[in-house]
A and B are shown apart, each in its own frame.
Chain A
Amino acid sequence: MAKRIEAHGVTAFYSSFKAIDSINMTIEPKSVTALIGPSGCGKSTFLRSINRMHEVLPGARNEGKLLIDGQNVYDNDVDVTAVRRMIGMVFQRPNPFPTMSIYDNVISGLRLNGVRKKSTLDDAVEKALRGANLWNEVKDRLPRPGAGLSGGQQQRLCIARAIAVEPQVLLMDEPCSALDPISTLKIEDLISELKNRFTIVIVTHNMQQAARVSDRTGFFSIDQTGDPGRLIEYDDTSKIFTNPSEKKTEDYITGRFG
């Protein structure tokens, strides 16, 4: 079940520094939403605010409301681990657990959920690795260390790890920035397939990538260094890249700024 995400005035702080200011955004289920913008504009911070990973850093906190199917994940009595189990995340650099095998990496989320049954785990590993288009490459070496794979394979392993727990939403923080073009294409193909099952939000610096994979695009920017990041424009990807309403967006996508 993919879910709708609604941000109402989501603001994020690093100690006293306001990193993003009052982001309002509605992300539809089973769609791919790309967040683009110059470095330091707060798009990653916003992404991490969706699954409450922002607050992991010392001194970091959020304000506003973030609703997943109508429920505010910032409510005080919400179990943050339940939020994160519902929202999978893929990071900029592939980060499989270095001490774990490929198999153990994929099931690490299930283990945390208390799944112990071997047959269930075996099925989940195959399903997740097939879902991440990695099964054929690694099926014969599941007990081998995950860190021994190539960068692109590691990133797909991380995607498999994230989708193995069947989340409702998948967040991707520049998932291809450490990968070569071929691995990048594989991940982009994968995103198009995963869209049928999950709501996907992807942060990217690569505008061609945003144009290729996303249905909707949000453009973030800052006025000057030290100011909080704002959502300048949020619209259908085709509109953003052909006929943006804001001058700033146009300047950015045409390469005149950023």
Chain B
Amino acid sequence: MATTTGVPSPPAAGPGEGGSLPRKRPLGAEMLFRGTTTAAGTMVLVIIVAIAVFLIWQAVPALTDNDANFLTEENWYANDNPPRFGIAATAFGTVLTAVIALLLAVPVALGIALCLSHYAPKRVATPLGFIIDLLAAVPSVVFGLWGRDYFFEPVQGLSRFLHENLGWLPIFGSEGPYGKSVLLGSIVLAIMILPIVTSLSREVFMQTPAQNEEAALALGATKWEMIRTAVLPFGRPGIIASVMLGLGRALGETIALALTLGGVYKVSFDLIGPGGTSIAANIATRFGEANEVGRSALIASGLVLFAITLVVNMIARAIVYRRREFVGGSA
């Protein structure tokens, strides 16, 4: 590039020097990155749609053959001719065990999380936090086996106790025999989702801006009042998200429930009697022995599970979204 002044000129001719501005590069790194991320984003939609299409396509044969009403039938005789099956009992069992597991796990999980984030001294909280994360990574079959072997008898005793003292409540009405039951399954499930809920909500609680905590303390809040004023409201969306993740895990849990539920196909709120089943456990225990129609029927139940989790997630989103303008950090 020729210059008359001897000053080194910029590599591309600048405006006003007679040269033109650099052209847009259609194949630059910018466009490549944009394309990659867009493709990755689109992938999510493609996968979701593909799963839904596969489930519906595979489920249709069994649903058309079905001799019973798929939505209201409790029993599962999908291998019979004509097949009679419905998701009433399994779907009910899925939601029931998951909800009880949440009721048991969430208060404890939030308690542990708050203890680790705001009460325990740092040298205790850090290793405990690691252990919690480790626990979250334990495979569910291990929980299932452990729950079946170590919780079976304690839960039998607990069931007897509940029946004797609270037997007038229909949920504790069963006279036994006690063993594999909704209660046992829910307890194991609760322990399973405890670490994930704890781990996520601890993370959220620790992100509470120090300035908000100090604002509460300076107003004369006690520690618990500070947590109620600053930490919990700030963590609300995070708590909901972690609970929903736990719920998602509970709804889809297979082996642990297959090992601890009674496998009785009945819509019942009886928690302590022999009984309980879930969609995922039903699929796991029956898939091997299923014939062609049976398999298609199980896929139909999978479609229902897919729909339930979708609805649950949408509700969670709606709850978080409703308060969106209140969740942003302050200036």
Which A residues are closer than 8 A to B by beta carbons?
Answer: 51, 53, 56, 58, 81-85, 88-89, 91, 93-101, 108-109, 111-113, 145-148, 151, 154, 158, 161-162, 165, 178
B223 (CB) vs chain A CBs: closest residue: A81
Q: A93-B331, A95-B209, A100-B326 are in contact. List 15 more A-B contacts (CB 8 A).
A: A51-B218, A83-B220, A84-B218, A85-B220, A91-B211, A95-B215, A97-B330, A108-B216, A112-B221, A145-B325, A148-B325, A158-B215, A162-B218, A162-B219, A165-B219
Pick the contact of A108 from B229, B323, B325, B327 — CB < 8 Å? B229
Cα distance A108–B229 in the bound complex, in angstroms: 8
Chain B residues with CB under 8 Å of chain A are 122, 209, 211-212, 214-222, 225, 229-230, 233-234, 236, 323, 325-331
Number of A-B contacts (CB under 8 A): 96
- Give the residue name and chain of the B residue nearest to A165 (CB): B219
Q: Is the CB of B217 within 8 A of A108?
A: no
Out of B214, B225, B234, which one reaches A91, CB within 8 Å? B214
Contact flag A112-B331 (CB < 8 Å), given A82-B220, A91-B214, A98-B326? no
A sample of 17 cross-chain residue pairs with beta-carbon separation below 8 angstroms, ordered by A number, consists of: A84-B219, A94-B330, A94-B331, A97-B212, A98-B326, A99-B323, A100-B326, A108-B219, A108-B229, A109-B219, A112-B216, A112-B220, A145-B325, A147-B326, A148-B325, A154-B331, A162-B219
Does B331 contact A56, Cβ atoms closer than 8 Å? no
Evaluate contact between A178 and B230: CB separation under 8 angstroms: no
B220, A89: Cβ atoms closer than 8 Å: no
The residue from A100, A109, A111 contacting B233, defined by CB atoms under 8 A apart: A100
The answer to whether A147 touches B330, judged by C-beta atoms less than 8 angstroms apart, is: yes
- Secondary structure at the B interface, as helix, strand, loop or mixed, is helix
Q: Is the CB of A96 within 8 A of B330?
A: yes
**Contact (Cβ within 8 A) B219 A98:** no
Question: What residues on A are CB-neighbors of B212 within 8 Å?
Answer: 95, 97-98
Shortest C-beta distance, B326 to chain A (Å), equals 5
Whether the Cβ atoms of B215 and A97 lie closer than 8 Å is: yes
* CA A162 to CA B212, docked complex, whole Å: 13
Question: Please, which residues of chain A bring their CB within 8 A of the CB of B328?
Answer: 98, 145, 147
- A154 contact from B218, B327, B330, Cβ within 8 A: B330
7 tightest A-B CB contacts, nearest first: A85-B220, A99-B233, A89-B218, A95-B211, A84-B220, A109-B219, A81-B220
Bound CA span A35–B233, Å? 35
Check B326 against A99 for contact (C-beta < 8 Å).
yes
Q: Which B residues are CB-close (under 8 A) to A98? A: 209, 212, 234, 326-330
Let me know if B327 and A178 touch, CB within 8 A: no
Residues of A within 8 A of B211 (CB): 91, 93, 95
Contacts of A147 in B (CB 8 A): 326, 328-331
CB contact under 8 A between A95 and B236, given known A58-B122, A147-B328:
no
Most B-side CB within 10 Å, residue of A85, A113, A146, A147:
A147
Bound Cα distance from A98 to B328, whole angstroms: 6
Supposing A91-B211, A95-B209, A147-B331 touch, asked if A81 and B221 sit within 8 A by C-beta, the answer is: yes
Beyond A97-B230, A145-B325, whether A88 also contacts B330 by CB under 8 A is no
Q: Nearest B residue to A147 by beta-carbon distance?
A: B330
